[in-house]
Amino acid sequence: MRGDLPQIAGTADISRVARRLRRPSSRRASPWAWFWLALGMLYFFVPLVATLEFSMRAVRGRYTFVAFQHILSDPDFYRNFGFSLMWAVITMVISLLLVVPTAYWVHLRLRRLRPVVEFITLMPFVIPAVVLVFGYIRLYGSRPLVLTGSPVLLVAGYIVLSLPYMYRSVDAGLRAIDVRTLTEAAQSLGAGWPTILRQVIFPNLRVALLSGTFLTLAIVVGEFTFASLLVWPAFAPYMEDLGNKKAYEAAALALISFGLTWASIGIIQWLGRGAPGQTQVTGAH
């Protein structure tokens, strides 16, 4: 990534130095922090353990992983998961390109549009997915505009479903940095809007963007309605089908899909971690 941009105010110079001096590990861990974390982990992992325990009962009388073996040896599993993963990445990219400039602009200049944009981003919650997909088929599936053959409708559906989460993540990220100062600074250096977005905003929103992309990936991998009614070999219809047929394998599949999605998210996290020593540049709020 390009080098630091110059700070505006003097206090920021001091704070930059101060930031380098203090590293997270110097802070003593609060016992409450451990407590909340432990409580959270208990809540999250007990149901997973319960599912695991059930899936291991596939053979009578003893615990075994044979249900997992069945899943992992099914070629359909890999095909469908790969398909969903690929379209998740495409959705993530398009969604970012759509949401970040908009959120940035609304934050910076079009304040009055904010309620409108927020309402739009909350709409996907209250429109049933099945209504949406049939709406797409009606509008864009009949002559002259037959889009149903292409993945356009699928990706559009995925973007719509992940919109609330992507927008909210980016919005929270924008609020946490001083957008105005950064923009001014960049402009005073002669940067145009594309440069500002690419070299100033995106890098500073790294954490927020990662959150948004994690959520999008999880949503796309688990999405059923669009994939099923638009006839695409995605992962969730595969899971549904298996869930109907086989008890123990379904539980195993739920855990495998959890693990795989987690791994995928982990890879994105690792890819987006940024170069070592990269400090998050924010002006005084």
Partner 1 sequence: MPNRRLTRRDFLKFSAAAGGSALLAACGGGAATCDPITSADTIALDTLTECATAEGQLTTIALPHDWANYGEIIETFKTRYSLTINELDPNAGSAEELEAIRANRDNPGPQAPDVIDIGIGRTVTAMEDGLVAAYKVATWDSIPMKDPDGYWWAEYYGALVFECNMDIVETLPVDWEDLLRPEYRGMVAMAGDVLQSNEAVQTVLGAGLSRTSGAFEGAAQAGLEFWAEMNAAGNFVPVIADVGKIAQGETPLTVEWDYLALANRDTLAGNPEIGIVVPQTGVITGPYAGGISAFAPHPYAARLWWEFVMSDEGQLLYLKGYAHPIRFNDMAARGVIPEELAAALPPAEAYANAIFLTVPQLQEANTYITENWRRVVFGE
Partner 2 sequence: MTVDRLSVQGSVVDAAPSGKKGGAPRARPPRSRLIDWLAVGPFFLFALLFIFLPSLQIFIRSFQDREGHFTFDNIVTAATGVDFVNAYQASLSISLITAVGGAAFGFLLAYAVIMGGLPRALRTFMMTFSGVASNFAGVPLAFAFIATMGTAGLITRLFEAITGLNPQRDLGFSIYTIWGLSIVYMYFQFPLMVLVMAPALDGLRREWREACENLGGRTYHFWRYVALPILLPSLLGTTILLFGNAFGAYATAYAFSGSFINLVPIVIGAQIKGDVLYNPGLGNALALGMIVIMALCMTGYGLLQRRSARWLR
Q: CA 73, 57, 75: angle at the middle one, nearest 5?
A: 10
104 near partner 2 (CB under 8 A): yes
For partner 1, which residue of 22, 27, 112, 245 counts as binding (CB under 8 A)?
Answer: 245
134 near partner 1 (CB under 8 A): yes
Evaluate the CA torsion angle 146, 152, 158, 160 in order and state its sign: negative
Binders of partner 1 in range 145-184 (CB under 8 A): 146, 148-149
For partner 1, which residue of 70, 105, 118, 141 counts as binding (CB under 8 A)?
Answer: 141
Residue 119 interacts, among partner 1, partner 2, none and using kind-specific CB cut-offs from 5 to 8 Å, with partner 2
Rank residues 23 and 138 by Cβ distance to partner 1 and give the closer one.
138
CB 242 within 8 A of CB 253: yes
Binding mask 40-79 for partner 2 (x = CB under 8 A): x--xx-xxxxxx-xx-------------------------
Separation of alpha carbons 210 and 166, rounded Å: 10
CB 195 within 8 A of CB 186: yes
CB 55 within 8 A of CB 255: yes
List C-alpha distances in Å: 204 to 76, 180, 207, 235. 40, 13, 8, 33
Separation of alpha carbons 127 and 133, rounded Å: 10
Residue 89 interacts, among partner 1, partner 2, none and using kind-specific CB cut-offs from 5 to 8 Å, with none
Rank residues 121 and 225 by Cβ distance to partner 1 and give the closer one.
225
230 near partner 1 (CB under 8 A): yes
Residues making contact with partner 1 (CB under 8 A): 54, 57-60, 130, 134, 137-138, 141-143, 146, 148-149, 225, 228-231, 237, 240-241, 243-248, 250-251
